[in-house]
Chains A and B, each alone.
Chain A
């Protein structure tokens, strides 16, 4: 599944058929406190289950300077 990471503007290909948001963030070493998960344009919590056809975005809550 393709995962878009907003902070660095990259897309990562995660070789999983199904994975929970929590496991996905752990796999990508992303701190859940600093991001918002979006699945198919809807905000979801990290207990959400993602499939390979889903459009997944990890939005950063940090901005500014």
Chain B
């Protein structure tokens, strides 16, 4: 049985040539996340920070770490959750989240697909699959992205923290690469959405260099109440296939996931420069339906609402 590399206690984690006991693993995790926030200036004094959270292990870990950081530097923060309306999944994670926020005294806002888009994902997805050949993850992704940005902006946030971890980013990079969408990779990285448009809240990812396994272990050792829950729609997704393949490679070649992200971070500045122009400012249109910034006349979210024929409420969106 392996001992911790820093003391004589039994190791609970082995990775990257270092073994850690419980207390040294927690120290390693907290230190690495804090360094990521500082090094990439993910959160700064004067920011108002919105933590996008679902109640799963990643979002509870990132909410905990963000709250530590913000309390230390006296930065305003709050949590924001989206209720997509996925029965036997989101209701469980939201309950865990409410318990967590009460315990750690975090202000929580919850917004729902039902209120904003007129219906739940469970009701929308059958029509999306049958009539429009759209996967639930596509619909959910577009609506979630829109609602997170829109809600964070309305609540006055200057930064939107997400729980994306190293596995998520490695998967996104490989998915884009395999599909030939290299330009999409220019939009990845620890901080995205930094531009002069006040319709976008910059997105930051403090867990960017943490493996999914490390995040799960952190949540477990901190005794966060996280039930195992996997979205019932994931089996239909390309991401699930890539996730399983990368885990198989990681098992045969330990460190492969870190290798993917480290390589990606080397080329990211080149990708950004190539696809966006280093100093050139992007120009935006504004959606004629909702007023959000977008590339064309109508944003993807409004296009999708139109396609699916779902009711749009009269909520002020601009």
To the question of whether A and B form a pair in one complex, the answer is yes
Specify which chain B residues have a CB less than 8 angstroms from the CB of A47 in the assembled complex: 1-2
A-B Cβ contacts below 8 A, count: 75
The answer to whether B56 and A63 have CB atoms under 8 Å apart is yes
Specify which chain B residues have a CB less than 8 angstroms from the CB of A9 in the assembled complex: 228
User: A6 interface residue, CB < 8 Å from B?
Assistant: yes
* Nearest B residue to A64, CB-CB: B56
Residues of chain B having any CB pair with chain A under 8 Å: 1-2, 10-14, 19, 22, 54, 56-58, 89, 137, 140, 212-213, 215-217, 220-221, 226, 228-231, 233-234, 237, 243, 247-248, 250-251
Specify which chain A residues have a CB less than 8 angstroms from the CB of B229 in the assembled complex: 63
* Nearest B residue to A34, CB-CB: B247
CA of A64 to CA of B248 in the docked complex: distance in angstroms?
19
| 18 A-B contact pairs sorted by A residue (CB < 8 Å) | A6-B228, A32-B251, A36-B213, A36-B216, A42-B12, A43-B22, A45-B1, A47-B2, A48-B1, A59-B228, A61-B215, A62-B230, A62-B243, A63-B56, A63-B228, A65-B137, A65-B230, A65-B237
The answer to whether B247 and A33 have CB atoms under 8 Å apart is yes
Specify which chain A residues have a CB less than 8 angstroms from the CB of B231 in the assembled complex: 64-65
CA of A9 to CA of B229 in the docked complex: distance in angstroms?
10
Cross-chain contact of A43 among B220, B237, B243 (Cβ < 8 A): B220
Specify which chain B residues have a CB less than 8 angstroms from the CB of A62 in the assembled complex: 212, 230, 243
Specify which chain B residues have a CB less than 8 angstroms from the CB of A59 in the assembled complex: 216, 220, 228
CA of A14 to CA of B231 in the docked complex: distance in angstroms?
29
